[in-house]
Amino acid sequence: MKNLSYAHGISDIPLKGETIGNNLRATIEKYGECEALVVVSQDYRATYQELWIQVEEVAKGLLAYGIKKGDRVGIWAPNRFEWVLVQFATARIGAIMVNINPAYKGSALKYALEQSQITLLIAANYFRKTDYVEILNHVRPECKFPKRTVIIEKDWEKMIFAGKKISDDALAERESELQFDDPINIQYTSGTTGSPKGATLSHHNILNNGFFIGERLYYTEKDRVCIPVPFYHCFGMVLANMACVTHGSCMVIPGEVFDPDQVMKTVQSEKCTSLYGVPTMFIAELEHPNFSNYDFSSLRTGIMAGSPCPIDTMKQVLTKMNMTEVTVCYGMTETSPVSTQSDCNDPIQKRVSTVGKVHPHIEIKIINPENGHIVAHGEKGEICTRGYSVMSGYWDMPEETSKVLDKNGWMHTGDLGVMDDEGYVKIVGRIKDTIIRGGENIAPREVEEFLIQHEAIADVQVIGVPDLRYGEEVMAWVKLRDGFEVSPEELREYCKGQISTFKIPKYWKFTIEFPMTVSGKIRKIEMREVSIIELGLEEAAKILTA
């Protein structure tokens, strides 16, 4: 029999059977005097002991505001120190933190608030040019949630003050009620159909995944990790924050949003040993006119993930940025998120052409999606994951959960991969038509359902087309109603403020029909092929990715 594409992560290190709060307490006891969190844009610094005190203040504030175990607490803000405090404070009191994308506008925000029934929303006053308070006031009349809102710039200190009446015993009593399998986090992810779904993750999911990511990177209390990726995504809060906290490493935040010059400046001034990013971030840094002015000698490792990585970019990161031990991760929000990761000691060829091997205590198999049988090494199939990292399900969506999580506990990723004889996995495509633009997952159906509401549009199909900078860009093929005319500029204006900016199509094509199969199904593969030629994207389509 041929070697089958199945692997499980053997490890001498056991899973951590504890809550995030208990694990953080152990880190404080061991590394209390070490620097824990630096946020350059806020001129904020805290040791682990100081971080523990501040997390406790926020936890008590939430208790004072009546937050019960299992209540949903939303966080709608960019990368700030308050975000990190909320992440660990909610874990300590058993609240379920709901990550809300800072780019969400009215309709997307309203959906997240209502779908997860958020009790308390902690929000920034603004983000870039977006006035969060104005958006909240707009959706509030039609939305029963949240019951209470804390605007960070205005209400943060009030919440901390309210918590002073909560005793240490009251907090300890709440913590004693918690179990490591309790849900602790909801992250909205765009699937292949309809509205976003809230992947529900536990202490056990997030804590262990972060820990084993840090193990692959050989983190210690001496590491300083530059984190320009967003906290609302698993990349920021698990691959970064949890990997650091479980090893006593320092979280270094350059700013609220990604700025290549600020990132490089931070790496140099804070002597960071590790740097994270999606491929587009590394490309922006490498191509920046000030790149040669910065010193990267402190860097050792890091993670490139979120979307397929151009092999040439990976080689430049290894050589020009001194990240000789850089790794690539693969996973999805529903698996906490990492399932495979390359090792710092893997041969360079494996690190630039694959997404590594299966993680400890996790199983991977690659199957024929038509019959479910495991394929042989070297054969293409759907990647499935099983183990501690798999979510409990989509929040309040049992039918959607059953579509991806089978009776044997396997999470069907929808991604196509190949496993070689050594167990290394390469991603070769997707069954799902999710668009991955610069690390952001975009469900074409979600954009289609919004655009179809325009009075001039009779039908619309959204696809992803290759892009040198972002990996993929959004394109809409539009069929107009008889007698109507509309320009791409008018449609872009229609989208502004209604859907997230990164979901607004860059390219528009007006057509009278869509390519179809004999059975009447839209052929999006053909649409993509036609669009590549018409838009002159052949070079972008040729880029090899890991």
List, for residues 87-139, the tens digit of each pLDDT value: 999 999 999 999 999 989 888 899 999 999 999 999 999 998 899 999 999 99
pLDDT at 482: 87
Query: Is residue 402 over pLDDT 80?
Result: yes
| H-only helix segments in 94-178 | 106-115, 132-139, 152-162, 168-176
What tokens appear for 338 in the block? 């990492």
pLDDT greater than 90 at residue 544: no
Alpha-carbon distance of 426 to 546, in angstroms, equals 7
DSSP string spanning 215-259?
HHTT--TT-EEE--S-TTSHIIIIIIIIHHHTTTPEEEE--SS--
Q: Report CA Rg, the chain.
A: 23
Question: What are the pLDDT digits (tens) for 285-337?
Answer: 998 999 999 999 999 999 998 877 777 788 899 999 999 999 999 999 999 99
- Mean pLDDT, all residues of the chain: 94
CA 297 – CA 322 distance, rounded (Å): 6
pTM of structure = 0.87
**Angstrom distance (rounded) from CA 185 to CA 83:** 13
Tell me: pLDDT of 191 over 50.
no
The secondary element (H helix, E strand) that includes residue 401 is helix 398-404
Cα 154 vs. chain centroid, distance in angstroms?
28
The DSSP bridge pattern shows strands 325-331 and 301-304 to be parallel
Max mean pLDDT range (306-310, 443-447, 498-502): 498-502
pLDDT tens per residue across span 228-277:
999 999 999 999 999 999 999 999 999 999 999 999 999 999 999 999 99
Report which of 310, 142, 342, 333 is spatially closest to residue 236, judged by C-alpha positions: 333
Nearest Cα residue to 149 out of 130, 139, 129, 104: 139
**Quick check: 495 and 450 in contact, CB under 8 A?**
yes
Q: What are 159-181's pLDDT values in tens digits?
A: 999 999 999 999 999 999 999 99
Containing H/E element for 28? helix 20-31
**Distance between CA atoms of residues 128 and 134, nearest Å:** 14
Q: Residue for token digits 């997230």?
A: 500
Determine the average pLDDT of the residues in 424-437.
Answer: 84
Handedness of CA 41, 47, 51, 54 (dihedral sign): negative
- CA–CA distance, 504 with 48 (Å, rounded to integer): 41
pLDDT confidence of residue 365: 98
DSSP-derived secondary structure letter, 163: G
In this structure, what token pair is assigned to residue 25?
């307490």
